[in-house]
Amino acid sequence: MAPPLLSFRVTLPPFLRPTRTAEPTPIRSFSSASPPMDPHSHPKPRVVVCGGGVIGVCTAYFLAKNGAVVTLVEKSSVACAASGKAGGFLALDWCDGGPLESLARASFNLHRSLAHELDGPASYGYRPLNTLSLTVTESQTSKPHSGKSDLPDWVDGPGRSPRTIGTTATTAQVHPQLFCRTLISKAIEDYGVQVVIGKLEEVGVVEGRVDSVVLEGGRAINSDAVVLALGPWCGKFELLSSLFRVYGLKAHSIVLRPKEPEAITPHALFLSYYPAQGGKPLDPEVYPRPTGEVYICGMSSQAEIPDNPEEIVGNLESIEALKRVANSVSSHLREGEAEVKAQQACFLPCTDDGAPVIGELPGIKGCYVATGHNCWGILNGPATGAAMAELVLDGQASIVDLTRFSPARFVTIAKKGLRR
Ligand SMILES: Cc1cc2nc3c(=O)[nH]c(=O)nc-3n(C[C@H](O)[C@H](O)[C@H](O)COP(=O)(O)OP(=O)(O)OC[C@H]3O[C@@H](n4cnc5c(N)ncnc54)[C@H](O)[C@@H]3O)c2cc1C
């Protein structure tokens, strides 16, 4: 029997809704004459987290839960960029054998415990699900397959060679925007996090230690530590770009609402998709959601990232290609059978060595960065946030060894390069 469909009714406070106002909301002011403070000696360190994507939200949540006085600065609205437009797919062991193994495993488990704590299934569509890979060759007619197959009934297009690549023990999903917004609401209500809508312009540094952030318009917020979690926009800050490269990879997605949502079972699909006109196979992903919607993503390319996240729009060709994928995969997702609820694009934050950058910047006490999570930011958000909170408050992370992700690795590379 198909599981009941969930509908989510989240009433958002104004700062969680998209806004074009650059004017920050009032914040507590601190004396600018106060000397720089050591966050490790102050009973309640003041931390400003910049960026309201999944990484910033998780960091703010764990910092505040562990006793910091936290302000989250977001330019537009919480989860307005990749963190609101991602698939929300989670995997326990898909990063095994690589640098992300311990981060991903810790984060998959943290997602499970957060879902328990925050009523994740009801509030942001957390659910374990099965995951299949399959090959789909687009034909001009997209005839449904005939006869019995190992595919779920709704996957009635020309899909073949299905293989189970994840089970309910190893793969799960969240609705990423609802996840971020639920977490920040909890952080505000229970742990006193303040959200300021404003654009970070500058990090104030006095005698080698962070003492404030300055927003567009000149407003300063004093702080003992700053966490820069600006996703691909980290690359726009010289403080960071002089040390390492962060760039954005533009990826597209569509959200469909089929007429018969109860026919769609919780199976995530990873496709090798051969377009009818030939060319290289594509690798789109299809995620049914417990809201009754079906999310499909793919079609990525390197592109210039606009300053304003609200100005990111999808390329028509890429969106059309995703609609053809929907058409080929299932008769339930065809034009006329499913309403298009969203067609959109966003940017994956990428680094040159493919690993995230999580840690304190060399030479600036109290200035931390967390970015470069590429296609696994929703999965790795919780462990990144928990580890960052430990690093800022205790000077060391125990949940995950962050050495591999330290921004200092780029200094070593730069020095080696110079020696050569
Ligand atoms: C199509 C697609 C599908 C994906 N699917 C998955 C998936 O299934 N599972 C998974 O684990 N990951 C997935 N990802 C990856 C994931 O979405 C990203 O890794 C993650 O969202 C990055 O989060 P972030 O917080 O670093 O950045 P972002 O979400 O980009 O957030 C950065 C925030 O910083 C704000 N900002 C920027 N500049 C400033 C400034 N000057 N001042 C204040 N605020 C500023 C922005 O407005 C934005 O809100 C997907 C990504 C894409 C593109």
Write the pLDDT tens digit of every residue in 46-89.
999 999 999 999 999 999 999 999 999 999 999 999 999 999 99
**What residues does CATH 3.30.9 cover in the chain?**
130-167+248-351
CA nearest 2: which of 329, 290, 293? 290
Out of 21, 58, 59, 83, mutate this one to test ligand 1's pocket (max ligand atoms within 8 Å of CB): namely 83
Write the pLDDT tens digit of every residue in 351-407.
999 999 999 999 999 999 999 999 999 999 999 999 999 999 999 999 999 999 999
Nearest CA to ligand 1 atom 16: 377
Residue 370 CA, closest ligand 1 atom number? 26
Rounded to the nearest whole angstrom, what is the distance from the C-alpha of residue 338 to the centroid of ligand 1?
27
Residue 298 CA, closest ligand 1 atom number? 1
Find tokens 């769609």 and name the residue.
Answer: 264
CATH topology of domain 130-167+248-351: D-Amino Acid Oxidase; Chain A, domain 2 (3.30.9)
pTM: 0.90
**pLDDT confidence bin for 143, thresholds 50/70/90:** low
**C-beta contacts of 157-162 below 8 A and 24+ residues apart:** 157/327, 157/328, 157/329, 157/330, 157/331, 158/328, 159/134, 159/135, 159/271, 159/329, 160/134, 160/135, 160/136, 161/134, 161/135, 162/132, 162/133, 162/134
Q: Name the β-bridge partners of 259.
A: none
Residue 201 CA, closest ligand 1 atom number? 41
Ligand 1: residues with CB < 6 A are 50-56, 73-76, 80-83, 86-89, 199-200, 229-233, 251, 253, 297, 309, 346, 348-349, 371, 373-379
Of 92-96, 138-142, 280-284, where does the model show the most confidence?
92-96
More confident residue, 278 or 54: 54
CATH topology of domain 43-127+169-245+353-420: FAD/NAD(P)-binding domain (3.50.50)
**What residues does CATH 3.50.50.60 cover in the chain?**
43-127+169-245+353-420
Nearest CA to ligand 1 atom 3: 86
Q: Is the pLDDT of residue 146 over 80?
A: no
